[in-house]
């Protein structure tokens, strides 16, 4: 991966009649990056991807690929290739002819095409499938053919619109890992559209979270999870407990008061840029950032007393719903079921441990 | 037990139904090979003489040529029109689409005699002379609905993302048509050509009303029915037409099923699924 930008989106908007599918999208995607567009259904992910591919044009704004403005450049002349959600395998052609479809327009001999096709099939683990007809393939194999058909063109960017959504859970998880490895190996930029936050976290170098035609945050998976920019992003990626809070500046940082937990001094750096102490209205804390102190000897940076209201047992984990002091909703706390640790029954009085690292501040 | 009995009745019903439907048709070849001028039982003996008589009838040759000309022109024209309509139905949204499609399909249920008379009146008003071309016009009118129904299923089955994939892989619009769309709808096109040709070949009423001095086969047959001596050779001609029609329909169905299979659709579904 380099820092060279490969795709530049500047103030891109798209209207379908009166529907504003995209409102002012700004983003830079770097060369060799695995970039995901993540968001709920109807937020405009597909629309954005199709505009990069050239199937649609922005209402306003510019899209540049590798420094070249793409306005007026049709899809067949763009250095991008798409893996469709339906795979769009040509049903009347064999696997090899599907993969070689785009090469026919390049000035290559038959033998060169055959060699390229073989190489691409090897990349997606489909050696020996060249003569199969499209309808003789399983879902996962179709997906690989669609990918090989894009790879063989050696585009600058490969666009994938929910490529794994048609596969069953097990195959999907396997393909997530394979796709990620393949992308790292060949180094082509991938842009993936998905509404599955777990998939985005597993596969991507960076993720753009979109809501209603706007990008809410672009960050690495860890950045998104640990430092979500808004409550909405926080609850879209994983689970987060929200607690009312207030803060005032104190030397070098701020003093945050949380009725449910107590008070704590946070570093200035814990606050998003352009944020004032008076803006702090809520803190967020992930279920795994709170701990139930089982043993008398267990300690934590801070402690608060609570009462277990409910438990959900997941085998490796147990999720506790715990009532804390103050006016907030009960919080969810996840605990690993390590050896010798039993599940607490509802009604148990517990000590809950937390610390300054556990918290994210919000408006 | 009950169901076994039910099954027996069903079988009886099915056989009776088939006899009712096809017995008259079977009479056609029976008398075509019968060695007698009178169409009546008992049969006299086998002869292929009536076919030779057909072969030697000059007037018939003209009628065959006319029918072929009308049939082929009708097939090509209605398939082209049908393809345009089917493509538009499958791909675009436009106001009043449903009612427009309904109007295209309407000739399917209109009594042919009404269509024929209406067309005749209109041609008279316009002062156009009757000819084979006016017959073709009438035939196209009644064939387009069939063509639309057949091709509509072909175009509906054509996933739009296939076209986009082709375009995305560097192919031009024309190249996409040549390499993806055409091969995928070809079986449907052939099926439409064959069926519309068959319909035109067998059609009598419109041909009778709208033709000038040139007659098509069915009209010729009708004109010959006045001469009892010609009846057996008409039976022979009918036999040939029957065989040809059945063959064409079977081939058309084969192509339609192939179409469905290519697009990965259950071939059992009817081509008229749309109507
Ligand atoms: N061709 C179109 N005409 C009119 N509206 C459209 C069109 N395409 C998309 N839209 C609208 O634009 C918005 C964004 O659609 P888009 O397909 O980009 O969503 P998405 O994020 O891909 O959703 P999903 O996860 O369901 O695929 C939606 O409200 C949709 O109804
Ligand atoms: Mg989508």
Per-residue model confidence (pLDDT) at position B263: 62
A4 and A69 both lie in a single domain: yes
Distance between CA atoms of residues B40 and B18, nearest Å: 23
Helices and strands in chain A: count of H runs, count of E runs:
8, 21
A56 and A183 both lie in a single domain: yes
Neighbours of A231 (CB within 10 A): 16
pTM (two decimals)? 0.79
Spatial neighbors of A319 by CB under 8 A, at least 6 apart, are A287, A311, A312, A332, A333, A334
Q: Indicate if ligand 1 lies below 6 Å from the C-beta of A88.
A: no
Distance between CA atoms of residues A82 and B168, nearest Å: 7
A343 and A270 both lie in a single domain: yes
A248 and A337 both lie in a single domain: yes
Instruction: Render pLDDT for A2-56 as a digit per residue (tens, 0 to 9).
Output: 788 999 999 999 999 889 999 999 999 999 999 999 999 999 999 999 999 999 9
Cα distances (angstroms) measured from residue A286 to each of A66, A239, A280, B48: 39, 6, 18, 94
Per-residue model confidence (pLDDT) at position A268: 75
Q: Indicate if ligand 1 lies below 6 Å from the C-beta of A208.
A: no
Q: Cα angle at A41 between A36 and A42, to 5 degrees?
A: 100
Structure tokens that stand for A172 in this block? 């999907």
- For residue A81, what are the β-bridge partners? A158
- A92 CA: distance to closest CA in chain B (Å): 6
Neighbours of B101 (CB within 10 A): 19
Domain count, chain A: 3
On whether residue A235 sits in a domain, the answer given is no
Cα distances (angstroms) measured from residue A221 to each of A38, A58, A208, A234, B203: 11, 28, 10, 12, 70
Atom of ligand 1 minimally distant from the CA of A195: 25
Last residue within a domain, chosen from A196, A230, A264: A230
A324 and A309 both lie in a single domain: yes
A54 and A160 both lie in a single domain: yes
Phi-psi map region of A252: left, alpha, beta (phi>0 left; psi -120 to 50 alpha)? left
Beta pairing class for A189-194 and A157-161: parallel
On whether residue A348 sits in a domain, the answer given is yes
Spatial neighbors of A347 by CB under 8 A, at least 6 apart, are A307, A308
Q: Which domains does chain B have, with CATH numbers?
A: 58-262 (1.10.3720.10)
Instruction: Render pLDDT for A113-138 as a digit per residue (tens, 0 to 9).
Output: 999 999 999 988 888 898 888 888 88
Residues of A in contact with B184 (CB under 8 A): 91-92
Instruction: Render pLDDT for B221-249 as a digit per residue (tens, 0 to 9).
Output: 888 888 877 777 788 888 888 888 888 88
Best residue among A43, A48, A59 to mutate for probing ligand 1, ranked by most atoms within 8 Å of CB: A43
Cβ contact B262:A134 at 8 Å: no
Structure tokens that stand for B222 in this block? 């009708």
Q: Which residue range(s) make up the domain with A184?
A: 1-79+156-230
Among B17, B21, B74, residue whose Cα is nearest residue B195: B74
The list of chain B residues with pLDDT below 70 reads 1-4, 259-260, 262-275
Atom of ligand 1 minimally distant from the CA of A43: 21
Query: pLDDT exceeding 90 applies to what percent of chain A?
Result: 50
Is the CB of A75 less than 8 angstroms away from the CB of B264? no
A67 and A196 both lie in a single domain: yes
Cα distances (angstroms) measured from residue A263 to each of A304, A341, B275: 11, 30, 72
pLDDT above 90 (res A194): yes
CATH number at residue A309: 2.40.50.140
- Contact map slice: B 170-229 vs A, CB within 8 A: 170-172, 175, 179-180, 183-184
Helix (H) or strand (E) holding B48: none
pLDDT above 60 (res A256): yes
A307 and A272 both lie in a single domain: yes
Among B107, B114, B106, B73, residue whose Cα is nearest residue B200: B73
Atom of ligand 1 minimally distant from the CA of A37: 21
Q: Cα angle at A173 between A168 and A176, to 5 degrees?
A: 120
A73 and A160 both lie in a single domain: yes
Decide if the complex's ipTM is over 0.85: no
Distance between CA atoms of residues A281 and A272, nearest Å: 13
Is the CB of A90 less than 8 angstroms away from the CB of B180? yes
Per-residue model confidence (pLDDT) at position B264: 58
Distance between CA atoms of residues A176 and A84, nearest Å: 16
A141 and A22 both lie in a single domain: no
Mean pLDDT of chain A, nearest integer: 89
Neighbours of A30 (CB within 10 A): 16
Per-residue model confidence (pLDDT) at position B272: 40
On whether residue A35 sits in a domain, the answer given is yes
Last residue within a domain, chosen from A185, A208, A230: A230
On whether residue A330 sits in a domain, the answer given is yes
Is the CB of B184 less than 8 angstroms away from the CB of A92? yes
A71 and A204 both lie in a single domain: yes
CATH number at residue A225: 3.40.50.300
Helix (H) or strand (E) holding B92: none
Distance between CA atoms of residues B224 and B144, nearest Å: 30
Q: Which of A55, A91, A101 sits opposite B169 (nearest CB)?
A: A101
Is the CB of B165 less than 8 angstroms away from the CB of A80? no
Q: Which of B165, B183, B184 sits opposite A88 (nearest CB)?
A: B165
Instruction: Render pLDDT for A273-325 as a digit per residue (tens, 0 to 9).
Output: 777 777 888 889 999 999 998 888 888 888 888 999 999 999 889 999 999 88
Q: Cα angle at A316 between A311 and A322, to 5 degrees?
A: 25
- For residue A80, what are the β-bridge partners? A157
Neighbours of A326 (CB within 10 A): 14
């Amino acid at each position: 991966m380099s820092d060279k930008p490969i795709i530049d989106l500047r103030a891109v908007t798209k209207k379908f009649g009166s529907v504003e599918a995209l409102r002012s999208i700004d983003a830079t995607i770097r060369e060799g990056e695995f970039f995901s567009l993540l968001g709920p259904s109807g937020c405009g992910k597909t629309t954005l991807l199709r505009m990069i591919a050239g199937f649609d044009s922005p209402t306003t704004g510019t899209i540049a690929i590798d420094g070249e403005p793409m306005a007026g450049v049709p899809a067949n002349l763009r250095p991008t290739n798409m893996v469709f959600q339906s795979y769009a395998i040509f049903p009347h052609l064999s696997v090899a002819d599907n993969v070689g479809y785009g090469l026919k327009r390049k000035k290559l001999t038959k033998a060169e095409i055959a060699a390229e096709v073989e190489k691409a099939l090897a990349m997606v683990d489909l050696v020996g499938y060249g003569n199969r007809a499209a309808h003789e393939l399983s879902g996962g194999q179709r997906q690989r053919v669609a990918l090989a058909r894009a790879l063989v063109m050696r585009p600058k960017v490969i666009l994938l619109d929910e490529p794994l959504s048609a596969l069953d859970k097990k195959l999907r998880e396997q393909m997530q890992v394979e796709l990620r490895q393949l992308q790292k190996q060949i180094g082509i930029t991938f842009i993936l559209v998905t509404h599955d936050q777990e998939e985005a976290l597993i596969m991507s170098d960076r993720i753009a979270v979109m809501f209603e035609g706007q990008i809410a945050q672009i960050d690495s998976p860890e950045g998104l999870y640990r430092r979500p920019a808004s409550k909405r992003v926080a609850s879209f990626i994983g689970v987060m407990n929200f607690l009312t809070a207030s803060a005032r500046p104190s030397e070098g940082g701020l003093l945050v008061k949380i009725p449910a937990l107590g008070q704590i001094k946070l570093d200035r750096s814990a606050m998003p840029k352009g944020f004032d102490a008076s803006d702090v209205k809520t803190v967020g804390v992930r279920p795994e950032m709170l701990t139930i102190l089982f043993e008398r000897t267990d300690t934590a940076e801070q402690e608060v007393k609570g009462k277990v209201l409910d438990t959900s047992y997941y085998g490796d984990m147990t999720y506790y719903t715990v009532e804390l002091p103050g006016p907030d909703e009960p919080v969810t706390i996840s605990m690993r079921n390590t050896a010798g640790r039993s599940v607490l029954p509802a009604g148990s009085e517990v000590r809950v441990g937390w610390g300054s690292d556990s918290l994210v501040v919000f408006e | 037990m009950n169901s076994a009995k039910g099954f027996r009745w069903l079988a009886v019903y099915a056989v009776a139904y088939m006899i009712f439907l096809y017995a008259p048709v079977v009479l056609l070849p029976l008398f075509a090979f019968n060695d007698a001028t009178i169409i009546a039982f008992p049969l006299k003996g086998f002869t292929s003489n009536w076919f030779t008589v057909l072969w030697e009838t000059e007037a018939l040759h003209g009628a065959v040529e006319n029918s072929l000309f009308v049939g082929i022109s009708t097939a090509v024209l209605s398939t082209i029109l049908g393809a345009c309509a089917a493509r538009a139905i499958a791909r675009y949204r436009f106001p009043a689409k449903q009612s427009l499609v309904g109007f295209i399909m309407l000739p399917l249920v209109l009594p042919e005699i009404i269509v024929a008379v209406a067309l005749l009146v209109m041609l008279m008003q316009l002062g156009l002379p009757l000819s084979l071309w006016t017959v073709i016009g009438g035939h196209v009118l009644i064939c387009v609905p069939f063509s639309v129904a057949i091709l509509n299923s072909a175009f509906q089955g054509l996933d739009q993302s296939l076209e986009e994939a082709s375009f995305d892989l560097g192919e031009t619009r024309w190249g996409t048509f040549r390499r993806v769309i055409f091969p995928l709808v070809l079986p449907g096109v052939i099926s439409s050509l064959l069926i519309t040709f068959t319909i035109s070949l067998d059609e009598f009423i419109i041909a009778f009303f709208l033709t000038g001095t040139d007659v098509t086969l069915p009209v010729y047959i009708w004109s010959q029915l006045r001469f009892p001596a010609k009846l057996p050779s008409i039976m022979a001609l009918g036999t040939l037409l029957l065989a040809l029609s059945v063959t064409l329909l079977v081939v058309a169905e084969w192509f339609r099923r192939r179409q469905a299979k290519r697009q990965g659709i259950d071939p059992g579904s009817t081509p008229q699924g749309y109507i």
